[in-house]
Amino acid sequence: MKRVVLLFLSSLLIISCAGLRGNIGKDPQPVEKVTVERINSLIDAGELAEAFQDLSWLPVNSKADKAVLEERLKSKFQSEYDKALDNSGYLDAYRILISVKTAGIEINSRGRTANDLIKELVYSRSEESSHESRLYVARKYFDFGSLGKEDLGRITEMAVKDGDKGFLEFVEPFLKERGLDPSPDFKKVQKSRYASSQLIKGTVTIWVNRGMKIENGMGIPDRVIGSGFFIDRNGYILTNYHVISSEVDPEYEGYSRLYVKLSDNRKEKIPAKVVGWDSVFDIALLKVDSTPETVFRFGKEQDYEPGTPIIAIGSPGGLENTITSGIISAYGRKFLQLGTVIQVDAPINHGNSGGPLLDMDNNLIGVVFAGIEQFEGINFAIPSRYIVSLLPDLYRGGKVKHPFLGFSLTEKNNTVSVTYVMPGSSAGRSGVGKGTVIREINGTGIDSIEKLQREMLKYSPGMIVKLGMEKDGNPFNGFFALSARPEIPAEDAYDNDATENLFLPLFGMDVDSVSTGITGNKFIITSILEGSIADESGLSVNDPFTVQRIKIDNENHILYMEIRIKRRKSGFLESGLMLSTYLETGDFI
């Protein structure tokens, strides 16, 4: 009797949830038709990259109209470039110059090259910018291969004066190419090395006071404790965004005060402010009124083999001045929305977040940011290669905005292919469809999603990039306007498109709709991506299934889908299956 009651209650549950099927069957956001009026409106609004993309992908019928639009765009680009230059907006001028060069538009650069514009920032004597911040600008934006001996010598001298061992390590190969011999001071800085006690002095404890929280009717102090380390003698500190998120998250409405404890004065809490932050890479730049004795530097980019010994410094559980050791257990883990991370086997605990990770030669490898609570000793760190690219934006202040195309991608055999195109995105307006292979971005070859993500970090929203692509064996090129990346692209796609269109990028299965009805939406699987959630769940091509329920866990950004399926691998016996996927997927670009 109990079994009958349970079955009856289960059927009621399924029926009551039958309406909770996401946005299945929803009409996608329509692509706005490209017209002369639309392109003119974009030009008037200053959306020049979008105007150029529309004109390049969907040219108007009249050649005369197209010529007029091209001339308007050229004139507007020139005007914006001149305005940026006249107002000392050298970075804006740089971005315009790179974009028009990519687009093949000729403007009067007023005798400036892209390197010349960056020199204005790097050689600036402004008191607002430190040597360290200017060297990070040089590292991100300079084309070092085209720099002359004079400029290489000048920027090397800056790094020597600042004692920036990491930058000297980075620039040394370019000096050798030019036949420039390092100075004695150069070699002295290179040979310098911090003792363990000095490394500790460069690390701090991050302390965020969030007032009181109520648990079981009692007030409990709400504190967030993390780690950080100095990267600049002007008092700039790197830590994790999640440690200080309450300081800048507009959705947080409670009390929040940020402090830092120095390693040699653990009793005093120094007020700190957040300068810049990046929630995607979980990085934040802070500033305190203090001149550190020890400053950590980022050296040249390199990959580390599994088994490489490492040390981590931080404040696990609030216990300051702690050094632990271990090894790199894996490199290139896909854990973030953009890029890959380092997996570390070392005693790293709560409070270590935001601390430095170093090799045994004291080279800064990355920033510790997360662990898996269920598995003791398995932790992760953000590689320095990404942080170096982000630092110029972090120094400028505010939230870092990443560029976005609107593709979801998959990779196989060193080939990157499109699995989904977001409605309303630059990619969605281009007409590029599923199955297109991306070979190049601005002339740089692409053989992995991670490579494309790293290349994209060189650009900013509002710029133009050129992709070399291939469809059905036919190569072609296309221009795209980079927009600002949504916080979580997959969530935006879920809100604006039919849910079944996301089955491929989120679960790895392409489907055809069979029918809809009161008991569910029926589909049949047409393809499966190798290694995907669908593949690992034992699903196969031609398996029919019905969607019973779709639910999103907004707090943890997880999508759950309950289905009834007849799997070929199970003799087509019908069974229930719950599929789940993180919406913070690393396949959107």
Domains of the chain: 119-192 (no CATH), 193-400 (2.40.10.120), 403-484 (2.30.42.10), 498-582 (2.30.42)
* Structural tokens at position 53: 């993309």
Q: Residue 262's beta-bridge partner residues?
A: 204, 265
pLDDT at position 292 over 90: yes
Spatial separation of the C-alpha atoms in residues 354 and 370, rounded to whole Å = 9
490-506 residue pLDDT tens: 999 999 899 999 999 99
Question: What mean pLDDT comes out for the span 307-335?
Answer: 85
3-state helix, strand, coil in the chain (%, to 5): 35, 30, 35
- Name the 3-class secondary structure at 397: coil
Q: Count Cα neighbours of 117 within 13 Å in the Cβ-side half-sphere.
A: 24
Spatial separation of the C-alpha atoms in residues 233 and 132, rounded to whole Å = 8
Q: Catalytic one among 353, 389, 417, 532? A: 353
Spatial separation of the C-alpha atoms in residues 337 and 486, rounded to whole Å = 11
Kindly give, in sequence order, each residue whose CB lies less than 8 Å from that of residue 117, ignoring residues fewer than 6 positions away: 90, 91, 93, 94, 97
* Active-site residue flag, 289: no
Q: Catalytic one among 130, 242, 389, 532? A: 242
Any idea which of 20-29, 379-388, 450-459 has the lowest mean pLDDT? Answer: 20-29
The whole model's pTM is what? 0.90
pLDDT at 127: 65
pLDDT at 62: 67
Amino acid at 403: P
Any idea which of 110-119, 151-160, 371-380 has the lowest mean pLDDT? Answer: 371-380
150-159 residue pLDDT tens: 999 999 999 9
pLDDT at position 481 over 90: yes
Q: Catalytic one among 54, 92, 232, 282? A: 282
Question: What mean pLDDT comes out for the span 300-307?
Answer: 84
Any idea which of 60-64, 397-401, 403-407 has the lowest mean pLDDT? Answer: 60-64
The larger pLDDT score, comparing residue 520 to residue 3, is at: 520
Question: What mean pLDDT comes out for the span 407-418?
Answer: 94
The label of the residue with tokens 């996301």 reads 502
**What region, left, alpha or beta, does residue 550 occupy, with left being phi > 0 and alpha being psi -120 to 50 degrees?**
beta
Spatial separation of the C-alpha atoms in residues 314 and 286, rounded to whole Å = 16
Spatial separation of the C-alpha atoms in residues 24 and 2, rounded to whole Å = 35
* Active-site residue flag, 11: no
Q: What is the β-pairing status of strands 273-278 and 398-399?
A: parallel
pLDDT at 6: 34
* Active-site residue flag, 350: no
CA dihedral angle for residue 341, residue 347, residue 350, residue 354, rounded to 10 degrees = -50
221-256 residue pLDDT tens: 888 999 999 999 999 999 999 999 999 999 888 899
